Structure 1
Amino acid sequence: MATVQGKNATFDRAWRYALLVIGAVIFIGPLLFMVMSSLKPDPQLLADTSSLRAFLPVGDISLKNYVGAFHRAPVALFIFNSVLVTGITVILSLFVCSLAAFSFVFLNWRGRDVVLAVIIATLIVPFETIAIPMLIVVNNLPWVSADGLTLGWLNSYRVQIVPFVADGLTIFLFVSFFKDLPRELIEACRVEGATWFQIYLRVVMPLSGPVLATAAILKFLAMYNQYLWPLMVTQAEGFRPVMVGLQYFFQLNPVWGELMAYLSVITVPVLAFYLVLQRAFISSIASTGVKG
Structure 2
Amino acid sequence: MAAIDPSNRGLRLFARYAVLTLVAVIFAFPLVFMLVSSLKPDDQLLRDTASLRAFLPVGDLSLRNYYAAFDRAPVGTFILNSVFVTGVTVALSLFVCSLAGFAFVFLRWTGRDLVLSVILATLIVPFETIAIPLLLVVSKLPWIGAEGLTLGWLNTYRVQIVPFIADGLTIFLFVQYFKDLPGDLIEAARVEGASNWQIYRRIVMPLSGPILATAAILKFLVMYNQYLWPLMVVQEEGRRPVMVGLQYFFQLNRAWGEIMAYLSLITVPVLAFYLYLQRAFIASIASTGVKG
> TM-score, normalized by length of structure 1?
0.97
Tell me, in whole angstroms, the C-alpha distance in 1 between the residues paired with 2:95 and 2:289.
23
Letter in 2 for 1:8: N
Tell me, in whole angstroms, the C-alpha distance in 2 between the residues paired with 1:4 and 1:270.
43
- Tell me what 1:128 maps to: 128
Provide the secondary structure at the position in 2 that maps to 1:150: strand
Matches within 5 A, 1:6-155: 6-155=6-155
- Tell me what 1:212 maps to: 212
- Tell me what 1:236 maps to: 236
Instruction: State the Cα RMSD in Å.
Output: 1.3
- Tell me what 1:280 maps to: 280
Cα deviation 1:38-66 (Å, max 9, x = unaligned): 00000000011111111110000000000
Letter in 2 for 1:251: Q
- Tell me what 2:183 maps to: 183
Tell me, in whole angstroms, the C-alpha distance in 1 between the residues paired with 2:264 and 2:281.
25
TM-fit CA distance, 1:290: 2.7
TM-fit CA distance, 1:4: 8.9
Tell me, in whole angstroms, the C-alpha distance in 2 between the residues paired with 1:213 and 1:175.
15
TM-fit CA distance, 1:202: 1.0
Provide the secondary structure at the position in 2 that maps to 1:154: coil
Tell me, in whole angstroms, the C-alpha distance in 2 between the residues paired with 1:271 and 1:239.
23
Tell me, in whole angstroms, the C-alpha distance in 2 between the residues paired with 1:218 and 1:82.
15
Change (3 A) 1:13 1:197: same
Cα deviation 1:244-265 (Å, max 9, x = unaligned): 0000000000100000000000
Tell me, in whole angstroms, the C-alpha distance in 2 between the residues paired with 1:3 and 1:197.
53
- Tell me what 1:174 maps to: 174
Provide the secondary structure at the position in 2 that maps to 1:117: helix
Tell me, in whole angstroms, the C-alpha distance in 1 between the residues paired with 2:3 and 2:210.
41
- Tell me what 1:257 maps to: 257
Tell me, in whole angstroms, the C-alpha distance in 2 between the residues paired with 1:184 and 1:161.
37
Tell me, in whole angstroms, the C-alpha distance in 2 between the residues paired with 1:4 and 1:204.
42
Structure 1 segments unaligned to the other structure (5+ residues)? none
> TM-score, normalized by length of structure 2?
0.97
Tell me, in whole angstroms, the C-alpha distance in 2 between the residues paired with 1:23 and 1:281.
22
| 1:222 corresponds to 2:256 | no
Tell me, in whole angstroms, the C-alpha distance in 2 between the residues paired with 1:3 and 1:194.
52
Name segments (4+ residues, structure 1) moved above 6 Å.
none
TM-fit CA distance, 1:106: 0.3
Give the % identical residues.
Answer: 75
TM-fit CA distance, 1:3: 10
Tell me, in whole angstroms, the C-alpha distance in 2 between the residues paired with 1:110 and 1:289.
32
Structure 2 segments unaligned to the other structure (5+ residues)? none
Q: What count of residue pairs does the alignment treat as equivalent?
A: 291
Tell me, in whole angstroms, the C-alpha distance in 2 between the residues paired with 1:170 and 1:229.
19
Change (3 A) 1:7 1:125: same
Change (3 A) 1:42 1:3: farther
Letter in 2 for 1:56: L
TM-fit CA distance, 1:25: 1.1
